[in-house]
């Protein structure tokens, strides 16, 4: 969202920003056992490498979508 605000001049309502924070909050709540060093029962292998790989898998699609929108409005 921050990148779309910078590069695409997108404006979000408070509800959109609140929704984004709720998603981040939910992900952090699910990761509490990992941060405490306990065994996480809700995920098979919660190592940092797999989490980083999962998050980086979205970058190509996000970049393509952002560029499509940017090129559409030029």
pLDDT in tens, 14-60: 998 898 899 889 888 877 777 777 766 666 666 788 788 888 888 88
Report the sign of the C-alpha dihedral through residues 46, 48, 51, 54, in that order: negative
pLDDT-derived band at 10, boundaries 50, 70, 90: confident
pLDDT-derived band at 5, boundaries 50, 70, 90: confident
Model pTM? 0.47
In degrees, rounded to 5, the angle at the alpha carbon of residue 68 between the alpha carbons of residues 14 and 4 is 30
pLDDT-derived band at 65, boundaries 50, 70, 90: confident
Query: Is a pLDDT exceeding 70 seen at residue 72?
Result: no
Q: Looking at the 3D structure of the chain, how many domains does it have?
A: 1
Range of the domain at 31: 2-72
């Amino acid at each position: 969202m921050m990148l779309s605000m910078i590069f695409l001049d997108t404006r979000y309502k408070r509800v959109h920003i609140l929704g984004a924070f709720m998603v981040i909050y939910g992900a952090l709540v699910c990761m509490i056992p990992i941060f405490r060093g306990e065994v996480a029962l809700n995920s098979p292998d919660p190592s940092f490498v797999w989490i980083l790989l999962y998050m980086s898998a979205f970058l190509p699609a996000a970049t393509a979508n952002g560029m499509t929108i940017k090129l559409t409005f030029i």
